[in-house]
Structure 1
């Protein structure tokens, strides 16, 4: 896979014939409407008076606007992802239909952490992005927050290179699709239990190809109200009145593949162990020629077992 693979995947799922009915680049949330649905993406938070596209989005083909997700202009990339979500995150999307709606949990993004908190005990947790109220909700847990503009208790985002490979759980904000950090973050977190989350999340099961285990996106409760809140600068108020969070496990097939990898590795190791026994039984005094390969397989099997247990515990 290349870093662009995920963006091509998103564009491949955009309806060729849909038009953008309305688009609002709000203070916190950007909203796109099509005839089928509504799509969100987190706004850049960077003011600009010189954007060259205002007045051209509504009435355009969603497919054309969706290609902006590849742009390095944060405003264009944001609208591009919102357009993608407006075509993918429809009422007949089976993931949305089967997702667990988090309506009894804490408000806003905290609903996801509140729901999963019982599974996070004794785990090393990395969260990409700072969420208001997070410290109180997850008090007592081993949590590290990585933030592009770190606060007092946060680490800068380059720490991901060092910390994500050692994590048990990693929560990746879907705004990483906008700023182009998603491919690297997903790669670094591939041995952890991963959650792609936020209103910017496209409801696509194919994210499992990037070792994402859970999707935690939003489901419109009142599209008109959600649009009004976003247009009037709303942030956390979007949740509850406009949308609610949903959570779904998309990593079951990855779990099956991991189980098969363990079986294959164990079989290879067993064969080498038998070959080593025969080697020494034949009277060879020197070290078994395949010893280093056997040692590597033993280490790999240990890592796979740890990975599998982590995934299994996340679902029990």
Structure 2
């Protein structure tokens, strides 16, 4: 774990120090929309964030220690930090690590009949509810994210409390209007582009009073994650998206659900990141609840 008293950097230091020193980088690319790092341990991805400080790191990382590349997560150049988070995911995104954390993974335990109907929304939600509350599985082929997984809890809250749950989402995800239909929703977005969006400095005002929160893994890149986790801790808090790092370090800081995606087809991941094609079956969903 990072040195105590290092403030917000403690999270990053803990994540970086968890990567073994003897694992090497094999290949990587900073893509237009998504980036990847292929290491001896596996393949990791991250959303390509832009901006911040000017890029100064121009070395070839191939053959160098993955831990050193992961340290780029602390860079204030968001392109460099993107590669750092992808490097962290090349270690933490291994299925071995996910299983050790108790992850439910897309397709777990699915029978042929269940797989055949996995695309039906009602079945998907029913199984998703079971998967985050106890034994169950995420159906094959279903692109279930953290929003669908938590929906049963949101609806139960509304029934028990007699009001819509106050939900804060950090990052403008697709289909937010659907979430707004059954919650009292605030979407925090750095680049406001929709009537549902509120400028992200409002986090200090709305997160302390929310009932549920969803925080994009991209906040690990732009360094807002430590403060956002602090503001939202103590209530159901989901870290969501392929950029999320599957580490107990996030759980210790308040994340009750890690709902991410990990690479199962590195060749297709590389192709998608470098060409802009969709990932398709190259990624699988996982859900990890706090023990």
TM-score when normalising by structure 2:
0.77
Which of residues 117, 140, 145 in structure 1 aligns to 2:182?
140
How far is the alpha carbon of 1:98 from its aligned partner? 3.4
**Matched residue, 2:267:** 224
- How far has the Cα of 1:196 moved from its partner? 1.2
- Please point out which of 132, 142, 146 is paired with 1:112: 146
Deviation per CA, 1:42-66, whole angstroms, max 9, x where unpaired?
Answer: 1014599x85544612222112111
TM-superposition CA deviations, 1:235-293 (whole Å, max 9, x none): xx32x42112211112x3xxxxxxxxxxxxxxxxxxxxxxxxxxxxxxxxxxxxxxxxx
Q: Which has the larger radius of gyration?
A: 1
Query: Which blocks of at least 5 consecutive residues in structure 1 are unaligned?
Result: 253-316
**TM-score, structure 1 as length reference:** 0.72
The CA RMSD measured in Å over matched residues stands at 2.5
Instruction: Specify which of 185, 192, 201 is matched with residue 235 of structure 2.
Output: 192
1:82 maps to which of 64, 67, 86: 86
More helix by share: 1
Count of aligned residue pairs for this structure pair: 247
Change (3 A) 1:138 1:210: same
Q: Does 1:71 align with 2:75?
A: yes
Does structure 2 retain, via aligned residues, the 8 Å contact 1:216–1:248? yes
Q: In 2 relative to 1, CA 47–73 (structure 1 residues): closer, same or farther, beyond 3 Å?
A: closer
Q: 2:24 aligns with which of 19, 22, 35?
A: 19
Q: Which has the higher contact order (CA 8 A, sep 6+)?
A: 2
| CA–CA distance in structure 1, aligned partners of residues 75 and 22 of structure 2 | 22
Q: Report if the CA contact (8 A) 2:15-2:249 is conserved.
A: no
Structure 1 counterpart SS, 2:185: strand
- The alignment status of 1:30 with 2:35, answered yes or no, reads yes
